[in-house]
Structure 1
Amino acid sequence: MTATPVQQLRDMLAASAIPSSTGIHGRFDVMVPSAAGGIPVRIYRPTPAPDLPVVVWLHSGGFVVGSLDQNDEYLRQLSNAARVVVVSVDYRLAPENRYPAALEDARTVWDWMKAAPDELAADVGTAVLAGESAGGNLTFALSQQLKDHGAPMPDAQISFYGTAETRVSNPECSTSMLSPQDCEWFWDQYVPRRAGRADPYVSPARARDVTSLPPTLVATAEVDPTRDATEDYARRLAAAGVSVDLQRYEGMMHGFATMTGALQPAAALFERTVQFIDRSLYARETGDSRRK
């Protein structure tokens, strides 16, 4: 990927998006006001009920590629299965918009959601933050930032192989789809100066205090150049008293999680994710699951 122009990478990813086939009660786009001119978000609603919890979703793509269309089919399924309103964030991409642009957009959408906008009509007091790969990194980073700033935090967070630290911990797991060189290239687009990677909102594993973070689901792939660094972070969270559900998916490579129609482990992770949301949100509120 390091030899492919950025726009070509974006076009290739857009062309490979899984076609949407799952019905959904409501799906519409909104522009969230921001200092940078607005952030596009896509909202998924499984039913017209106004009291559903919210999942804020941050897509993958190494901070360089990705869009609202990338996970459309997956998020339709997640909204229906977990009975949540999903807010998918089209954050600004590098290298045109380097750190902290993506994190600022994620924070702006989170704050907008918490302000209970009319477009959402949901239980904004009950919300999960979730993401895949770069979006998983942003999930970790935003939760840390919200904690540090004393802001309303998610009730739970979900990260699919989000790089908790911008370093290659498993060079032996290089593949043609993601090599250590690719990882370094993506990070260079996002944070050009290596010294900047020590920022805890770039590498959440560098945070001094990780206590009091929300219950966390971390899924890693066996074949991933950043696997061990992320698993080490998950274990550090657990040691700090955070409730952590950590699972490595053997035989899987970075990027597998949303391929639920093609890969059985991805389908299993989907069910695990729905159960985690149910356990973290519905059961917490009622003492029992509301999903019957």
Structure 2
Amino acid sequence: MPLSPAAQHIVDAAATHFPNSMSGTPLVELRRILEQSAVPPTTPIFESRGALVPTSFGDVPVRIYRPSPEQGLPVVQWMHSGGFTMGGLDQNEEYLRKLSIAANVVIVSVDYRLAPENPYPAALDDCREVWCWIKARPAELGETIGARMAIAGESAGGTIVFVLSQQLRDMGLPMPDAQVSFYGTAEMRISNPEHSTSMLTPADCEWFWDLYVGSDVKRSSPYLNPGSARDLSGLPPALVATAEIDPTRDATEEYAHRMMRAGTRVEIERYEGMMHGFGTLTAALEPARQLFERTVDFLQSSLHPAGSGSDGPIRGSNDVRS
């Protein structure tokens, strides 16, 4: 199936900004384009505030979204997209306001360090430290005793979701109650070279990975390639969304199936006619709006006491639509 007409329109518009593909455009220019394309927030929310999380690597900026003054709300840590090299707190402002309100959760968006200035494992270290800060129930989050917590992200942020879940398990640290990944790449390899658009080509993938990893790091580590892990048991319930037109699609779907076979409750859905990067474009794409609603349902059933939680079945768990 080709791109849907609406998706094709977005891809064509993006091509006017980088006609030579992203990897053929200077990174400073890509960052400028992404910054200028951020959707200004228009959705009122009870609170949107910045904070600095002190870590052993320096302060990590975060933005906290609170839908109401209610205490004890679940908390979701969000990691943005951008190939580990671009993006920041303004990137998903409007989307996260809507998600916070619809799912009735506090969201902590992480401004992790970017490559190549700060290559692997800087982004992962920052996200892990922020997670530990959240679990320590800081005053900035209000009362969170007994609250359930999840991690979520898009693209590079979705890869961090997969990796962080494994690393927290391996380190014996507190685990999320759920994980959500929008087309996070589970392996640093091109599994679908035929599914390329100007928004993400195989060459772009390799370029981003090279900038993130550097030349002295072996990519066989599961903290770079979560799909290379032999043991996928003991991971949090997962919602995994993939795009049909994505050069890394099959490797990510196989990772979701492996989690399922290892006993993790998984919801996986492929969105036909969509390209990598569609998930937060809810103003332009109906499948993005459908994914938003599914994410809300998943977070509500996973995190709210009135839902099923970790001690009961997740609605649609092990539901494969691809």
TM-score between both structures, scaled by the size of structure 2: 0.87
Partner of 1:169: 191
Aligned match for 2:308, one of 268, 277, 284: 284
Alignment of 1:155-194 (within 5 A): 155-193=177-215
Distance 1:244 1:195 in 2: 31
Residues 1:121 and 2:145 are matched in the alignment: no
Distance 1:112 1:274 in 2: 24
TM-aligned CA deviation for residue 192 of structure 1: 2.1
Distance 1:156 1:287 in 2: 13
Partner of 2:25: 4
Partner of 1:32: 53
**Contact residue 54 and residue 122 of structure 1 kept, 8 A:** no
Partner of 1:59: 80
C-alpha distance after superposition, 1:112-166 (max 9, x if no partner):
0000000111426410100000000000000000011111000000000000111
Partner of 1:111: 132
TM-aligned CA deviation for residue 184 of structure 1: 0.1
Distance 1:29 1:240 in 2: 38
Partner of 1:141: 163
Partner of 1:260: 282
Q: State, as a whole percentage, how many aligned pairs show the same letter.
A: 61
TM-aligned CA deviation for residue 287 of structure 1: 7.7
Distance 1:287 1:136 in 2: 25
Distance 2:156 2:143 in 1: 26
C-alpha distance after superposition, 1:194-215 (max 9, x if no partner):
8621110111111121001010
Residues 1:274 and 2:296 are matched in the alignment: yes
TM-aligned CA deviation for residue 193 of structure 1: 3.1
Aligned match for 2:101, one of 80, 99, 106: 80
SS of corresponding position for 1:78: helix
**Contact residue 53 and residue 122 of structure 1 kept, 8 A:** no
Distance 1:122 1:42 in 2: 17
Distance 1:65 1:287 in 2: 38
SS of corresponding position for 1:252: strand
Partner of 1:245: 267
Deviation >3 Å, runs of 4+: 284-289
C-alpha distance after superposition, 1:44-69 (max 9, x if no partner):
00001111000000000000000000
TM-aligned CA deviation for residue 4 of structure 1: 1.4
Partner of 2:244: 222
Q: CA RMSD in A?
A: 1.6
Partner of 2:226: 204
Tell me which amino acid in the other structure corresponds to 2:94: E
**Contact residue 43 and residue 87 of structure 1 kept, 8 A:** yes
Cα pair distance change 1:232/1:84, threshold 3 Å = same
Distance 1:192 1:151 in 2: 28
SS of corresponding position for 1:189: helix
SS of corresponding position for 2:162: helix
SS of corresponding position for 2:272: strand
Name stretches of at least 5 consecutive residues in structure 1 with no aligned partner.
none
